[in-house]
Structure 1
Amino acid sequence: MLSLYEASYFSVEGETTLDEARNFTSIHLKEFANKSKNNNISLLVKHALEFPLHWRPSRLEARWFINFYDQRKHNMNPILLELAKLDFNILQALYQKEIKHSSRWWKGTGLAENLSFVRDRLMESYIWHPEMSFAPQFGDFRRTSSKLYTLMTMLDDIYDIYGTLEELEILTDAFCRWDTSVMDKLPNCMKILFLAIHNYVNEVAYDILRDQGFNIIPCLKKYVRIIIYYTSMLAPA
């Protein structure tokens, strides 16, 4: 029944059978959780009723399941538990190392000091990347993408709370042209952020061209422009 409850959350609009299955299983699972004398199963059911499994970050959720499995008195495989703990600790140490690397980069940009009115979202930008690609070999993706997301968050704040319409039109034009000469008409904080994004995108493109032989500048420029269009509420031509 618990598996059916979890599966019901994979329904799409119009799948009334799975909606009915979710309602049915929710009622009976709540009754079971309140009456069951099996603490392990009851705890698992209550946890699932809070949020379905696939709504939770898998690597963070692993910690809960390690603790849950550790509390089992019967049918617990100590070797499996030890391997799970080892896997979790290895990845945790790797993620901590990546966060330290990103924090040094962030401090080195000086953006937090020069644009004090924007959100500092480095940790939030990083934390969900292990969910997309948790394996050790994808460290470059996690670091690169989280930095870019941090810069995009700052850009969003520029558009939302700081720039005038005229300034934002110039900034949008600078990004569309990918031209540093346009930024002379911008206030200092916008110049700093534009150059930070411009330089970081070019740096990432250089690293990939050097290591893998691909020129991704057009893709990255297009990605930034899409963000600009969404942020400034303009429609791409």
Structure 2
Amino acid sequence: MADTCSSGSHRQQQQQLRWEGLESVKAMLHQNHKNKREVLTTIDNLKRLCVDHYFQDEIDNAVDSCLDLVHSDDLLEATLSLRLAREARYDISADEVLRKFTDHNGDFKLDHCEDIRGLLSLHDISHLNMGESSLYKAKEFSRKNLTSAIRHLNPNLARHVRHSLDHPYHVSLMQYKARYHLSYLQSLPTRNTAMEELAVAEFYLNKLQHQKEMREVERWWMDLGLTREIRTARDQVLKWYMWAMTVVQGFSLSRYRIEITKIISFVYIVDDIFDLVGTQEELSLFSEAIKRWDLAAVGSLPSYMLSCYKALYTVTNEIADVAKKEHGMNPISQLRNAWETLFDGFLLERKWLSSNQVPSPEDYLRNGIITSGVPLIFLHLFFMLGHDLTELDGDNIPRVIYCSATIVRLRDDMGSAKDEMQEGFDGSYKEMYLRENPHGDAEEHMLEMIADEWEELNRECFSRARSSCLSPSFLLASLNLARMTSIIYGYDNEQRLPVLEDYIGMLLL
């Protein structure tokens, strides 16, 4: 009882600190700053600490008033203002902004080699590339010079630079980088204690919220009892919740994180049923049951499939009810079709495997994007967030989802270690590519494909013309899904996931 009271008291204390931090930072942002560089640096720190969502109006106004810094001759000012403007969906050409820092060949001038903060900012903006030649060169130039400079820097700055290179801004999870950025800020001689206290309170309250959600998901999963009926299926509730926790951000979307975790769990379990458990006849019956979408017409299913079907059916209908209640539309028809498409994709993979049929890399990837489960999962989120059918292009997967799903599939297929619980094998893009290109470098080819998808994802998320119909929460979810892949599939030489372990310990345990 004493521990409970102590925990409650600490929570109230952190809530008070968060409120005080919000007031202090908001007052600071409302002040008429003459130093635009200082304003943009503050905004950058708020973003890196994952507390910028509290100050969106102030940030939008400040970025707009500081746009002229893109014309600055200072590398840090120009690149920082360019990045913040791009994140705010201003259409500004990186090639035009960076031209002044390059020679007649388009190569960056050597007199910028020792500008560490400028190089860090240049490296940051290089990952928001939309296909601009200057940003390809910016990435190479900044990485090369920052790497060579590390040994000459003071320990705190060296550690900050190394972490920035290992986990580049924009393509890495902000939630993961936030704690490290706070430590860096706390090492500086000039500190903003209000912002730091706000970040600490936010970390603590987020962790409490995530722990509460995780307990609810665990109770649901245990009550479901599917692992007792499907012994070979994966039992990885923590991993499934980590996906949802990463993708769906914000205190107000707690219920959505829990529901999305349930959908993710079914994608994994159905995958295992197709790979490890079901006979061809059973799988055909399973797929037919999904098409009928009727609990009264599934008596022919074996017991384990019936249990999975009932649970999947119930959760999907509950999500449709949420969308109907909160947003006035019932998307059950679209969600049913999405499950049907997923099952058809798993059936096709099973057909390829059982008949020793080898698809082309293109055919494999097209189907692999479906069987990743990403389009289905995001369709559920799409409707929970209040989007409607007019925002969907017929039966086509929206590009913003397609890009993230492709990155997930390719990263998964590049993994150097198999999932320890996954004994089935249904091919990989890497294998299909090497069959057609036995002397090719599959990994280099796949990394190039991933880089292309990131550029397209950037265009989808940061071009006003393309992203105007989608909510910021949905676009952020697409970005975070792509960012999560380097953590969830980041195996080391010992086939462990050290960054994932660090991430879980930092944000959840």
Shift of 1:223: 2.5
Q: Matched residues in 2 for 1:230 and 1:69: separation?
A: 48
Give the equivalent residue in structure 1 for 2:218. Answer: 103
Give the equivalent residue in structure 2 for 1:57. Answer: 173
Identity %: 26
Output one character per residue of 1:76-122: Cα deviation in whole Å (capped at 9) or x when no partner.
Answer: 12222111100111111111111111111111101122112111232
> Is 2:161 aligned against 1:45?
yes
Q: Matched residues in 2 for 1:22 and 1:209: separation?
A: 46
Q: Matched residues in 1 for 2:172 and 2:244: separation?
A: 13
Q: Matched residues in 2 for 1:84 and 1:76: separation?
A: 13
Shift of 1:56: 2.2
Output one character per residue of 1:185-234: Cα deviation in whole Å (capped at 9) or x when no partner.
Answer: 32221111111111221233334444554322113212222322332227
Give the equivalent residue in structure 1 for 2:307. Answer: 192
Q: Matched residues in 1 for 2:253 and 2:239: separation?
A: 18
Shift of 1:173: 1.0
More helix by share: 1
Q: How does 1:77-92 map to 2 (within 5 A)?
A: 77-92=192-207
Q: Matched residues in 2 for 1:97 and 1:194: separation?
A: 27
Query: Is this contact kept in 1: 2:213–2:258, CA < 8 A?
Result: yes
Query: What letter corresponds to residue 9 of structure 1 in structure 2?
Result: H
Among 120, 127, 137, which residue is 1:9 paired with?
Answer: 127
Give the equivalent residue in structure 1 for 2:383. Answer: none
Among 20, 38, 49, which residue is 2:137 paired with?
Answer: 20
Query: Is this contact kept in 1: 2:241–2:261, CA < 8 A?
Result: yes
Q: Secondary structure at the match of 1:176?
A: helix
Q: Which runs of 5+ in 2 are unaligned?
A: 1-118, 350-366, 371-394, 396-509
Give the equivalent residue in structure 1 for 2:443. Answer: none
Give the equivalent residue in structure 2 for 1:139. Answer: 254
Give the equivalent residue in structure 1 for 2:293. Answer: 178
Query: Is this contact kept in 2: 1:62–1:88, CA < 8 A?
Result: no
Q: Which runs of 5+ in 1 are unaligned?
A: none
Number of residue pairs matched? 234
Q: How does 1:197-216 map to 2 (within 5 A)?
A: 197-210=312-325, 212-216=327-331
Deviates more, 1:176-185 or 1:207-216: 207-216
CA change 1:62–1:73 in 2 (3 A) is closer
Deviates more, 1:53-62 or 1:14-23: 14-23
- Where does structure 1 differ by over 6 angstroms across 4 or more consecutive aligned residues? 234-237
User: When the two structures are superposed, what TM-score results if normalisation uses the length of structure 1?
Assistant: 0.89
Shift of 1:177: 1.5
Superposition RMSD on alpha carbons, in Å? 2.3
Query: What letter corresponds to residue 157 of structure 2 in structure 1?
Result: I
Shift of 1:62: 1.7
Shift of 1:153: 0.8
Q: Matched residues in 1 for 2:190 and 2:269: separation?
A: 50
Q: Matched residues in 2 for 1:99 and 1:143: separation?
A: 8
User: When the two structures are superposed, what TM-score results if normalisation uses the length of structure 2?
Assistant: 0.43
